[in-house]
Structure 1
């Protein structure tokens, strides 16, 4: 018993020693970041204030390295990601915010139901935005080193947000990874797409719904959204369908994935000739639209003909499950045109 207690205490001491060393290394890293920020031209007071809040967050590193790898299929994922209560709430909030949503939709050329779907899936309609100090999260993740260049870019972008006065330091909160606000934009996405829709001088995706709606719409529009189309549709395949036509999941770079998509696209008439039908067995729409055949799981799982707007979802988050869940929720809010 005494031996076990001694081993346990030694383990605690060792853990404390490792953490003390890590904290010391973190402070050195933080000092170097300050010098780098000054060299980039950031104001010394901004740097001092922002970095004074930065602490090493072991939980952030743990979350980054140990993201869950639960085996999912769309059959299990969609009911959890888009339960009936979320559909009901999406419809209710659409009705409550109809005037501003439809104004934003008209100005940006993005159907309002897609704005609401992304709002709901990213932050539960603004209710879950994360309580982590954004600067601490980004500095911790850069310090960890696995994706240092990525998180340093996010850190500089975060300083730009503070410098521009869009949010105060005490309210600069987000997810453990640095995603922020009702839109869950990373700092670089904020700087590229966020909109001050109510013209109060701040792009406030945290507390101002109008800014959040317009920022979502602006993201989609800038990435090529076409409001004459929907996102895609679930389809059924004929027996012995040749799998070479199917766009499968993979770890390709974004450029490779887009090339793969473009090579896989066919007209709806071509898919009709190959025996592809709507989920209810009826013919595909007789319109001049191109689509790729997406297989989120395997040949026995759900299949979708995905239009160009699906690619925009994949730019937001390159996951077939995510993209399909956005489309699925948007359809439950209001049915598509094509």
Structure 2
């Protein structure tokens, strides 16, 4: 999941994480699907890149020497730095992908059809059943309903199948050396080295997207350090191959960002013809009861429930498209991925997985 550095698309869709890999495989051409999980960009395996070997004389070699020196200053062990940086290469393909992120032109319905496919719904229901005991315990600790954890897992990495194919350290080093957003990516590189120094993963196994998003929930290194969980107590927060750690980490992220376990994400609605356009958007909040008084109805034309839950009205495509009444959990999903498209799709997929 790509939480901090995401591209802005035509409809506010952000993201550079690997999650889009699964969308691309579903026929999304070569688009780097933002949207944003953590997770999503079109990428290619390392074998298709043309790396530049870092020599002591090269600029990249000097850069890595500086990274090593900074790591030592921060207290990282020299053995960790030697192992992590020994085989780092400059990956030209990473820069190409960073420069050529296409803008999306999909409508919301087209996007929804790709992300919330019947195959993904059915797989999500199987995963929900297979992991029922684990997800129940995770919900008990973090207060996040299992269907939402499974939905994000499915969107980000196709339930752990597509977690990326590039060395995270090499990708981050390439982006940090590039200069366009070097400060951000150098910080993420140091965070990745910290994760290695803590022993959660070996350098050769720290694989992820070209932009550095990692594991089954596609966390950037900074997000890992904040929210990753050692669910099974083995001393490692392994979001790559340990399903329990990955799902618990996703739930911990949502919980820490304000998730409300007694609420859902929102619902489709119908707006009256005279609905004020100035009332649209997540910045305008009213209770469900107040929206009902303004003439907002359920998508089936029936009255909204008379509840005092704070909610907002959003249109899927900003100024057009279907309308939705969204609650605080929708806002939390948008912290995971700042895209209206993504948040609506995640909520819809969760509902479908849950049987709605």
TM-score range, shorter chain: 0.7 to 0.9
* Contact 2:53–2:90 (Cα < 8 Å) also in 1: no
Say which of 187, 196, 200 aligns to 1:153: 187
**2:325 aligned partner:** 305
Q: CA deviation at 1:294?
A: 1.4
2:105 corresponds, among 71, 87, 107, to: 71
Which residue is equivalent to 2:250?
216
Tell whether the 8 Å contact from 1:117 to 1:326 is kept in structure 2 after alignment.
Answer: yes
SS of corresponding position for 2:314: strand
Number of equivalenced pairs: 304
Deviations 1:242-262 (A, max 9, x none): 110111xxxxxxxxxxxxx4x
The higher radius of gyration belongs to: 1
Q: Do the aligned partners of residues 143 and 310 (structure 1) sit closer, same or farther apart at CA in structure 2, a change above 3 Å counting?
A: same
- Is 2:53–2:89's contact at 8 Å kept on the other side of the alignment? no
Q: Aligned with 1:265: secondary structure?
A: strand
Shift in CA distance, 20/52, structure 1 to aligned 2, threshold 3 Å:
closer
Provide, for residues 193-229 of structure 1, a one-character-per-residue CA deviation record: whole Å limited to 9, x for no partner. Answer: 1111111111111111111111111111111110110
Cα 1:215–1:236 shift into 2, 3 Å: same
**Which residue is equivalent to 2:308?**
288
Deviates more, 1:30-39 or 1:264-273: 30-39
TM-align CA RMSD: 1.8
Q: Secondary structure at the match of 2:312?
A: strand
Deviation at 1:21, TM superposition (A): 11
Deviation track 1:131-156 (CA, whole Å, cap 9, x = no partner) reads: 10010011111111111111111111
| 2:157 matched residue in structure 1 | 123
Match of 2:285 among 262, 265, 282: 265
* Alignment match, 1:275: 295
Q: Which residue, 79, 83, 89 being the options, matches 2:117?
A: 83
> Where does residue 46 of structure 1 map in the other structure?
80
Partner of 1:15: none
The structure 2 residue matched to 1:95, chosen from 129, 143, 156, is 129
Q: Residues 276-320 of structure 1: CA distance to partner in whole angstroms, max 9, x if unpaired?
A: 111111111111101011123144411111100111111111111
Q: Note closer, same or farther for the CA distance 1:124–1:31 as it changes in structure 2 (3 Å cut).
A: same
- SS of the residue corresponding to residue 102 of structure 2 reads coil
Counterpart Cα distance in 2 of 1:152 and 1:190: 16
Stretches of 4+ aligned residues off by more than 4 angstroms = 19-23
Equivalent of 1:135, from 164, 169, 177?
169
Contact 1:53/1:135 (CA < 8 Å) preserved in 2?
A: no
In structure 2, how many angstroms separate the alpha carbons of the residues matched to 1:145 and 1:324?
34
**C-alpha deviation, 1:20, in angstroms:** 9.6
Scaled by the length of structure 1, the TM-score of the pair is 0.86
Aligned to 1:24: 58
Deviations 1:76-110 (A, max 9, x none): 10101111100000001111111111111112111
Unaligned runs of 5+ in 2: 1-51
